[in-house]
Amino acid sequence: MIILLLALLGFATADSDWIANPNHKFKNFTIDQLRSILTPLPKNFRPSINKLTPSNYQSTNTTNSTLPLDFSWRDTAPECMVPSLDQGECGSCYAHASVHMLAERLCISQEHHVNKTRQAVPLSPDFVMFCDPLAYGCNGGMISQVVDFLSEDSSDSYVPPLECIKSFGNETLKSCPEHKCPPKDHRLVKCKPGSKVQLFEVEKMKEELLKNGPLVTQMVVYEDLLSYQAGVYEHRQGSIIGGHAVLITGWGYNHKGEEFWEVQNSWGADWGENNGFFRIKVGDSEIATQLFGGALACEVISKETIFYERLFMQ
């Protein structure tokens, strides 16, 4: 059954700070197709009874805070933002968000390196989907468990560049795919063992975000988010479809003085604003709340794989 509600959403009401696109990319998706791009929620899942507002959190808008009122890695270091990939009809958001965090944090950490132009290199979400033994491929996964996998003291948890593992689309593999990197030097990336951090207070999240880079988190997706085009999203209409993993890249305040997160999504550069990003009111849709495990990050390490070209001379 087509979700007709989504075709009708093309509004910016007086009490809404966001604009919907009536011709969004999910307009003709069936409910099963929509669920396929999200992570299933437990049958007994219930969102918070009391709608979360910034007042539920430790305030950062005080004279004692050393944090800026707004910040964005997208604006501060655009060279460290990897393109917003499109996960397609595959529930791989957990893998996309996790490897985006690694790639962007690695680039940001290179700020003080001399004689080197930094540039984020996209990493392979398929590696996480099929090489993490506790991931479920296109059927979803948990970011906390993924960060644990990436933090293992093992060479098997280094993530290769995107170009080293082809995309398998909606296919689910039974084993870790072979790395077929092009003939050039490249870096493998992972979390430093023991460096995983899990944060539940907004101020702590902002401090970590400002110091070290984007945070991975989870949220619920209501029907109306699919039609988002621009502005600060706040759930207005529709039911919960499933869970979703995303990357927090910044924060700010709207004209009402309400906090929002800037978020990088994995629905492609043709969705949302600024090539695949969206803004969402802090606490809305359970984003980064305790119910979904707050926000997570790690210290990123890498190792270089050097390609040696052999010259055969007659």
Tell me if 102 sits within 8 A of 149, measured CB to CB: no
Query: pLDDT of 84-95, one tens digit each?
Result: 999 999 999 999
Helix (DSSP H) and strand (DSSP E) numbers for the chain: 7, 11
pLDDT-based confidence at residue 43 (cuts at 50, 70, 90): confident
**Count of beta carbons in the 10 Å neighbourhood of residue 254:** 15
The pTM is what?
A: 0.88
The pLDDT tens digits of the residues spanning 54-76 come to: 434 444 454 457 899 999 999 99
What is the chain's mean pLDDT, rounded? 86
> What are 238-291's pLDDT values in tens digits?
999 999 999 999 999 998 899 999 999 999 999 999 999 999 999 999 999 998
Task: Report residue 42's pLDDT band, with 50, 70 and 90 as the boundaries.
Answer: confident
Catalytic residue positions, numbered? 244, 265
**180 has pLDDT over 60:** yes
Dihedral sign for Cα atoms in the order 247, 250, 253, 259: positive
Distance CA 306, CA 102 (A): 20
* pLDDT tens per residue across span 1-40: 444 444 444 554 446 789 999 989 999 999 999 999 999 8
| Terminal Cα-to-Cα distance of the chain (whole angstroms) | 67
Domains and CATH numbers, the chain: 4-41+56-305 (3.90.70.10)
- Which pLDDT belongs to residue 185? 76
- Residue 84 tokens, joined: 């917003």
Residue 150 predicted with pLDDT over 80: yes
Give the whole-number percent of the chain exceeding pLDDT 70.
Answer: 83
| Gyration radius of the chain over CA positions | 20
